[in-house]
Amino acid sequence: MLASEVSALNEEIQELVQTLGNGRQALMPILQHIQRKHGYISAHAQQEVARLLKIHPVEVDGVVTFYAFFRKGRRAKYNIRLCQTISCDLMNKDGIAKTFERELGIKFGEVTKDEKYSLEFISCLGMCDQGPAMLINNEVYTNLTPRKVVDILNSLK
Amino acid sequence: MPILNKPIIFDRNNFGNGFEKGIKGRPIDIVLEIRESGLKGRGGAGFPTGTKWMLAATAVSPKKYVICNADEGEPGTFKDRLLLTEYTDELLQGMILCGYAIGAKEGYIYLRGEYEYMLSHINGVINKFHEEGKLGKGIFGKNFDFDISVRLGSGAYVCGEESALIESLEGHRGEPRNRPPYPVNTGYMGYPTVVNNVETLVSVPIIINKGAEWFRNIGTEKSRGTKLLSISGDVERPGIYEVPFGTKIIDMLEMVRAKDTKAVQIGGASGICIPEEELHRNLSFEDVPTGGSIIVFNKSRDMLKILKNFMEFFTEESCGQCTPCRVGNKKLLDGVNMIEQGKCSVKYLRELIDLGRTMQVSSKCGLGQSSPNPFITIMTHFGDEILAEHY
Amino acid sequence: MTDSSFSTRIPTAQQSIKIDKGSAHEIGGLVDIEINGKQFQVPFGTYILDACKQFDFHIPTLCYHDDLCIAGVCRVCVVEVEGMRTLQSACTYPITNSIKIKTTSEKVRKSRRHIIDLLLSDHYGECYSCVRNNNCELQSLAKEHGVDFYRFGHVQNPHYEVDNSSYSVVRDMNKCVLCRRCVRTCIDLQEVGCLEALNRGYETKITTFMDKPLAEVICINCGQCINRCPTGALRANDPSDAIWDAIDNPKKHVVIQTAPSPRAAIGEEFGLAPGRSLTRELNTALRMIGFDRVFDTNFTADLTIMEEGTELLLRLKSALVDKDPNVKLPQFTSCSPGWVKFIEHFYPDYLDYLSTAKSPQQMFGAVLKTFYAQETGVDPADIVTVAVMPCSAKKFECNRPEMNDSGFKDVDYGLTTRELAQMIKEAGINLPDLPKTGFDEPFGEASGAGLIFGATGGVMEAALRTAYELVTGREVPFENLNITPCRGMDGVKEASIKLENVKPEWSFLEGIDLKFMIAHGTANAKIVMDRLVAGELNDVHFIEIMGCPGGCIGGGGQPIPTSSEIRAARAKAIYDEDAGLPLRKSHENQHVNYLYQKFLTEGPCSHLSHKLLHTHYTKRGSYIA
């Protein structure tokens, strides 16, 4: 990271702590803000948060790695997370997954070379009556069909 | 997204002015009315709400908290999605009534991360309540202050467990606590805390408006009122339905036009699998309890594949803290894979079912205690079929 | 703001209510309970586990440890409570009403067996090649519960790489059973915070920040996690193969120094109850093994008192007479390498408060490769110096780049009590049976003051015995020289001693209340440091800090298990040994005086002693790059 990026990030985290509080109970909201804005929570960000909340960096890491929505590394521009839980599974999740893999040329758990798309599975989204469902970044898509998947991917380009 | 059949308790005509009535009365009367109604927690465990509130109300403490558990994460459940968007006013009213009843000044809605898109709507309603004097200082001119804020989860099924939820609110890994003490005694930040499901809280203003007696007359003796069901899977009309407790599973299936049903998973991944021959059983705390997730499987379904999906879910979603749940679920999943490859002896399968029973009694929290349910019930009812197919 | 002021974690997930045993009686009085059909009474709030222990019902445990907060994660201790659907973990369940407990019902036995089977299925257990063979709690559990086959399979191949990066601690997560004792030790007991559970579910792993090698994070090498690990997942970095090689090499002159704490504890490795020192038996054993000379670290402990005590008096003079605003007081002791690394990481701006005196181990190394080499005519390049220490951090300390003041690596190897016991066993020696022999010249026998360095408060007591007498010409005014305010296991101790009728050359100290503090365990060190940062310790003169709970006798290289009783017994052994010695004061150690006459001729804190016996510290900070 460039020095200017570091100081911008530090400033941003300081502001978050000022508005959300410096107690440990503010940890999740702070991490959520960082995740939302940057798409990931870097080692530096974790340590800065730990310092301001007066907890150990490894405890922040423990929290970050516990929750599925937090990530430690850079993420693709479009993070595609397909629900793999039972109701979506019954509604041809496998077919949707294959479509994605074929269209993007990567497997689930991988990122395209241009870092534009990443494929992941996720647990139940609460869209069981409209499965298969997925999230692209934070947006929900439901009632997926292979055809619809192709359309959605085209609309992202 | 409405309730697809004719609502019973959640009929808008029932709402009336329960909220105002409650706040204008004495706090203890709310607790007594809820206790009298026989309302039990709608999250699945079914702890009597009135008893919980009474414990919190009688606790002596400088601070108390009300938490709405909106971390609906059980596979196959989506009824809170409806309540959080369409019954937001009633949910907030229920929380405020609870706060008034137990003497709390602060409430949190712990909203699952997947429902982040609802955040602005819920915050809008909270702001509206502030403008209307229903939240903030001196509510309805009473010496009663109450505030509600929404906090988000970040993708962890186990945070639906109330003590894990509190840990998460406090900024920790969502690992369930040792009990006792229970949250009503030592909860959020160490203070007495009532954690209730969304559906439970929405019921509260309705019960206050219509009276405990009215509520008691619906449902069965040990399961008063109704249950919202999230129905998905092999049915013609998936969606949310409201049925009185005591409804037969087979009648429910007819309602959603399920055809060719082989089995029904009641209570989601942590629930039990009901085979065709037991469809006459009913939904109630006495017989088949449920948090509202109903997943229907027709005759074309491979039960082993379904079970594998459940066990993969638990292996990933266990918090990893206690041995029976962390390793046990992995062993059950390994067992499923062995069966799939035709490598699991009947002897070992029995050993695994036995392990499931150990997990049910020795895990630290409800997740580990219920995660072997699908393994045990599917293997009990469909074991022969599965083994025959995979040898 | 300093990057040091961590708030105490409230590990509520791993804690149950703590009811103070004194007040429990007042809250709820006595509660009638039934255990396995027999009636008892216990105070309200007693944990089932404690109740069962009290009445001699054995309950197996794994994640439970006397020193740590309760976790309730392994579930091995489950018992049946009548009327409850599920089993309850005995370690977490407080008895608040009349209950009936069954500790050996079929349900209980079966569950425990399953849980142990699950733990074994996930543990890379190659017992015969494990450092903890025959002292492993998982192994004992398996034996106790009659495990004779792997019900749920077991790990055939290790899937984690062993972390060998640290000089002190080796992490082998293939053997980890996730009891989290190390996490509770590192975060709660020691307030270091370099280990935590990462990920979740079956992927959960105990590791460091960003899963980095231990050498790259803020580990202070105290090894307390090793002492509390029930398996071989954490162990010390063992140099004994290299030491054997040196012994076998006829060109090498291998000398060993033994610290008092290992001598007070090594008997435990040979089946003795804690609390018996085997100092002189050990000398015999070391000669049998093949060490060329056997020396007593207490010699340099006495030397430390001379250097560090002089340093304190000089600082006091600068402050009181010269009114030097830059002199730093209180002076902190620097003989505990865990504590030194702690302050380097967490209070890097306060390093000037540390005494510059090296630890006794390092002083000895420097003296051996200079003075001793001169005296004996042995080429220092051929001298191999080994230090038997109760400590894993000593391994890191002797590898610090600045510890080469003799022109060579001052101390070649730090060896823990456990590792030395292993070498002795390998040589076929049963230590307790050996005849007693003394230490070698030219360092000979040391004082009891050096000896008590091993227990928390010992350095302070030794320093006071000397400083008081130096300044006043009289012995410290305590019966038998036992300065009782320095003793005991309180986390932070504070006291003072008045200096009156001082000698003329110390007149500036007349009437002064010499205030001192003692803390052990870095969590307590943190309490002291935070008070220092807050400016509350301006009137304190001298502070002793030991990185490990109990001081060196509770060090990370000591025999396993550890508990407050065991540590107290070891401390008692040391104090008893001191009481029986003819020589009790460092400044009366004739060998030390000889060293000053012959070698460090300009006296304590002079140019040469600064070169050889003093050091400097590194501002490490806590940022992990």
Q: pLDDT tens digits, residue range C182-226?
A: 999 999 999 999 999 999 999 999 999 999 999 999 999 999 999
Contact call for residues C264 and C553 (beta carbons, < 8 A): yes
Domain ranges of chain A: 3-66, 78-156
Q: C75 and B351: CB-CB below 8 Å? A: no
**Same domain flag for C446 and C503:** yes
Cα(B301)–Cα(B311) distance, integer angstroms: 17
Is residue A1 less than 8 Å (CB to CB) from chain C? no
Is the pLDDT at C24 greater than 80, yes or no? no
**Same domain flag for C232 and C244:** no
Residue C7 inside a domain? The answer is: no
**Same domain flag for C396 and C279:** yes
**Same domain flag for C351 and C305:** yes
> Which residues of C are tagged catalytic?
308, 311, 335, 355, 394, 397, 402, 552
pLDDT band at A137 (very low <50, low <70, confident <90, very high): confident
Domains of chain C: total: 3
Is residue A69 less than 8 Å (CB to CB) from chain B? yes
**Same domain flag for C435 and C543:** yes
Neighbours of C598 (CB within 10 A): 12
Is residue B73 less than 8 Å (CB to CB) from chain A? yes
Torsion on CA atoms C347, C348, C353, C355, rounded to nearest 10: 110
**Same domain flag for C246 and C295:** yes
Neighbours of A54 (CB within 10 A): 17
**Same domain flag for C422 and C289:** yes
Q: A58 and C9: CB-CB below 8 Å? A: no
**Residue of chain C nearest B186, judged by CA positions:** C17
Counting as contact any 3 or more CB pairs under 8 A, the partners of C are: A, B
Is residue A26 less than 8 Å (CB to CB) from chain C? no
With beta carbons under 8 A apart, name residues in chain B contacting C206. Answer: none
CA neighbours within 13 Å on the CB side: how many for C56? 1
| Strand pairing category for B272-275 and B261-266 | antiparallel
Domains in chain B, CATH or no CATH each: 12-216 (3.40.50.11540), 226-298 (3.10.20.600), 303-389 (1.20.1440.230)
**Same domain flag for C151 and C189:** yes
pLDDT band at A73 (very low <50, low <70, confident <90, very high): confident
With beta carbons under 8 A apart, name residues in chain C contacting B334. Answer: 153
Is the pLDDT at C10 greater than 90, yes or no? no
Residue C5 inside a domain? The answer is: no
pLDDT band at C506 (very low <50, low <70, confident <90, very high): very high
Task: Kindly report the CATH number that applies to the domain delimited by A78-156.
Answer: 3.40.30.10
Task: Quote the longest CA-to-CA distance of chain B.
Answer: 73
H or E element, residue B109:
strand B106-111
- DSSP for B342-359, please give it: T---HHHHHHHHHHHHHH
Cα(C204)–Cα(C214) distance, integer angstroms: 18
Is residue A94 less than 8 Å (CB to CB) from chain B? no
Give the percent of chain A with pLDDT over 90: 90
Q: B171 and A123: CB-CB below 8 Å? A: no
Contact call for residues A110 and A148 (beta carbons, < 8 A): no
**Last residue of some domain: C185, C213, C236?**
C236
Residue C64 inside a domain? The answer is: yes
CATH number, domain with residue C206: 3.30.70.20
Compute the mean pLDDT over every residue in chain C, rounded to the nearest whole number.
Answer: 94
pLDDT band at A2 (very low <50, low <70, confident <90, very high): confident
Is residue A51 less than 8 Å (CB to CB) from chain C? yes
3-class DSSP state of B298 = strand
**Surface of A (98-127) touching B: CB under 8 A:** 122-127
Residue C221 inside a domain? The answer is: yes
**Last residue of some domain: C178, C202, C236?**
C236
Is the pLDDT at C19 greater than 80, yes or no? no
DSSP letter at C216 equals G
**Last residue of some domain: C80, C104, C128?**
C104
Q: Which position has the token pair 């409650």?
A: B22
Cα(C364)–Cα(C385) distance, integer angstroms: 9
Compute the average pLDDT of residues C67-73.
Answer: 94
Is the pLDDT at C14 greater than 50, yes or no? no
Residue-level pLDDT at C5: 32
Burial environment of residue C18 by CB neighbours within 10 A (0 to 12, 13 to 18, 19 or more):
exposed
Compute the average pLDDT of residues C396-420.
Answer: 97
Is the pLDDT at A157 greater than 80, yes or no? no
Is the pLDDT at C1 greater than 60, yes or no? no
Residue B141, C-beta contacts closer than 8 angstroms, at least 6 positions apart: none
ipTM of the complex in this document:
0.95
3-class DSSP state of B194 = strand
Neighbours of A10 (CB within 10 A): 15
Residue-level pLDDT at B391: 76
**Same domain flag for C222 and C247:** no
CATH number, domain with residue C34: 3.10.20.740
**Same domain flag for C26 and C150:** no
**Same domain flag for C541 and C478:** yes
Of B47, B51, B79, B245, residue with least CA distance to B162: B47
Give the percent of chain C with pLDDT over 70: 96
Q: Which position has the token pair 């690394």?
A: C341
Task: Kindly report the CATH number that applies to the domain delimited by A3-66.
Answer: 1.10.10
**Same domain flag for C519 and C606:** yes
Cα(C405)–Cα(C410) distance, integer angstroms: 7
Token pair, residue C446, equals 């040391």
pLDDT band at A138 (very low <50, low <70, confident <90, very high): confident
Beta-ladder partners of C198: C205
Residue-level pLDDT at B138: 95
CATH number, domain with residue C314: 3.40.50.1780
Compute the mean pLDDT over every residue in chain B, rounded to the nearest whole number.
Answer: 96
Is the pLDDT at C255 greater than 90, yes or no? yes
Neighbours of B128 (CB within 10 A): 14
Nearest to A129 among B74, B78, B317 (CB): B78
C-alpha triplet A140, A143, A146: angle, nearest 5°: 105
Mutate to test the interface with C, among A10, A27, A58, A69 (most CBs of C within 10 A): A58
Residue C142 is part of which domain span?
A: 118-236
Instruction: Kindly give the confidence (pLDDT) of every residue in chain B, 391 residues in length, as a single tens digit, with 9 standing for 90 and above.
Output: 789 999 999 999 998 999 999 999 999 999 999 999 999 999 888 999 999 999 999 999 999 999 999 999 999 999 999 999 999 999 999 999 999 999 999 999 999 999 999 999 999 999 999 999 999 999 999 999 999 999 999 999 999 999 999 999 999 999 999 999 999 999 999 999 999 999 999 999 999 999 999 999 999 999 999 999 999 999 999 999 999 999 999 999 999 999 999 999 999 999 999 999 999 999 999 999 999 999 999 999 999 999 999 999 999 999 999 999 999 999 999 999 999 999 999 999 999 999 999 999 999 999 999 999 999 999 999 999 999 998 7
